[in-house]
Every structure is written in structure tokens, then in C-alpha cells.
Amino acid sequence: MQAHFFSNYQAFEPFLAAQEATKLVDLCKQFGSYGLYSDEGLNEGIGEGLPQRFDAAFNFINTGGRFGRVKEDFSILAARTNYFRETYAYGNEIAAPGIEAFYYNEKLIESAQKVFGRPVIEPAIVYANILLPGQELAIHTDVPEFRGMNRKLHPQWMLVVMHHSGLFNEWRLPIATSVSWYQDAKGGAFAFYPDGADQPAKTHPVQFNSAVLMDTDSVFHGVDRVQELEGPMPPFRPGMRLEAESGGRWTVSDGDEEIGRYHWDEMRFSISWKAYCFEDEGDRKRWRSHSEDLSIDRVLDTLCADLRERGRLADTRPPNKQLAELLVEEYIKFPAPQAASH
């Protein structure tokens, strides 16, 4: 494996032994059925009625994406960023037998130690993303975790706001993320901003058996559009499934209705690996024991107090939806669209 280490990320090319990489392609096909990311549903309570990642979705709709393309109908934009995802491993649960060696890959663990400067690494999750022709992934940062606050318990956008605000750093659990690819896709480059949101993006083409590892909770990143087919892209909606068939063919279905057919070479498949990075065993113990957990009330009180100091909020707290939109507007500063290169 050849690794290229930079100040805040590492790139691998090739990443795994060729046979190991091919096995992951087989695992993807054997897993067989993938649901849409939008199936995670809407927020309840704070931000009620808004999508889990309305921060990235609204920015994509308002700007037209990384290259500021001409705005399209909302339903088309929603379909472009409504990709397919399934979890292969989470904690001690293995949903895709055969993923274990990848989950506990020593080279990924060593890379996380190097990039984050933290010796205690605990693999947390492995999941697959599949984008179809015409789809892209809006620029965003990933969902972080804090002691007592995670995506299973709290709105995803709020966790992102917490990190970007810088007000909860002592409770944050740094997470290393590796993204790896297992075919040569047409388009769909991984775009990321390792030097900050105000600097130009770097791109990593989707090439078989390559990978990057970085702090995607802090580094803005996204996926450029996968090369479109001649016909119009179907209107992907919650509840649809992408399923493997024989001969390298895949089908998107809405119940019993077939929506579209694709060949493996037209798709973009990636695997994401995430691991917690602890300073020492004591740091990990505090997380496991929940001895210093945050509460949602403390978080909201802290954020609202900061908004008042900034002159953005009156004494009375606004309704949940309005407050959620204000928090995203104030704390998450997305990269500006850039001109497409030719």
C-alpha cells in the first residue's frame, strides 16, 4: 500500500491488496439491497419538520452546488442528492458478514493515529454509499459526536452546528473517516477543502482501490456529479430501493414498480469507515461511563446565550423551526461556489 501523508489527511493508492478490494465489490453485490438516505426521516422537537441535514440541502438548493449550476426544479435537485446507503457494521453489530477485516484494518487505524495524533482508536461504523448517474453529494461536513450527544438521539444538523460553533470542543469525540472506492467511475470526484472553506477545493478522482482519510467532521467535502445518461434521471423518492440482479445489473424499484436500470460501471460505489480517536484510555472511559455528558437543554442554552452576545437573538427564544434555521445560518459557513474547470 502506498500512502501519501499531508498535514491533515492521508491518501492511499493503491489502498488494499487487489484481491481484498475485489472482495468488497462482491460484498456490495451480495448485500444486495440499498435504501435511500432520505429514509432517515425528519427532525422532531427542535427543527421539527426539517430534513436531518437541511443545512447542506438548503445550501445546495440556494447555490446550485459546488459549481453554482443553473437552478433546477426542487424535485430534481432533491433526487440528485438523494443517494443510496446501507450500514455494514456498527459498534459490535455486523450487518454484512465479510466486512470484519476491513472494519478492524490495522493500516486504517495507524493512519488515524497519525492524522489525529491520538493513540487510542476504536472503529465505530462502516457504511456504503451508492450514487447513480446524475447524482451528486452536496458540500457538507459530516455529523460529529459529543459525550451524551449523537445522531441516534439528536438532530444531525444540531450536532453539526455544535461543532462549527466551537463552543463544545471539550466534549467532542474526534472521528477519523476513510472513504474508499472500488471502481473507476465516470465523474463523481471526491471534492474536499483541507485548507479551509475559503480556499479552493482539492479533488480525488474515483479510481479502483484508492482511499483518503481525514476529519470529515471538520473538512467540507462533497461528490461532483456522476456522469449522466442520455435519458432524464428518475425522481428518486423515499421508500425506493436499489437492488442487485445478475450480470452486473441493478434496479431501482418503488414497491412493485421499476423506476430505472443501471450497470455497475455506471454507478459510483464507496465505503466509509469511521473510528473514534481518544487521547488515552481515560478519555475513552469518560465517554463509555457517560460521566461528563452534555444534555440537549445545556446545549440550547449555551447556543442561545452566544447568539444573544452576537446580537442575533432577543431574550425570547423563537419557535423551534425558526431557531434551527437561525443556528445553521449563524454558525455553518459553506464554501462559495466556484467556476467549473474546462
* CA distances in angstroms from 322 to 34, 38, 167, listed in the order given: 34, 22, 21
Q: Which residues contact 294 (CB under 8 A, 6 or more apart)?
A: 146, 147, 148, 149, 168, 171
Q: Which residues contact 305 (CB under 8 A, 6 or more apart)?
A: none
* CA distances in angstroms from 221 to 31, 79, 218, 290, listed in the order given: 27, 19, 9, 31
pLDDT at 41: 58
Q: For the chain, 342 residues long, give each residue's pLDDT as a single digit of tens.
A: 445 544 689 999 999 999 999 999 999 999 999 999 876 655 667 777 788 888 998 898 888 888 877 677 777 877 888 899 999 999 999 999 999 999 999 999 999 999 999 999 999 999 999 999 999 999 999 999 999 999 888 999 999 999 999 999 999 999 999 999 999 999 999 999 999 999 999 999 999 999 999 999 999 999 999 999 988 888 888 899 999 998 889 999 999 999 999 999 999 999 999 999 999 999 999 999 998 899 999 999 999 999 999 999 999 899 999 999 999 999 999 999 886 554
Q: Which residues contact 209 (CB under 8 A, 6 or more apart)?
A: 13, 14, 15, 16, 18, 21, 180, 181, 182
Residue 4 CB coordination number (10 Å):
10
Q: Give the pairing of strands 84-90 and 120-131.
A: antiparallel
Domains of the chain with bracketed CATH: 3-331 (2.60.120.620)
Task: From 85, 149, 110, select the one nearest 300 (Cα to Cα).
Answer: 149
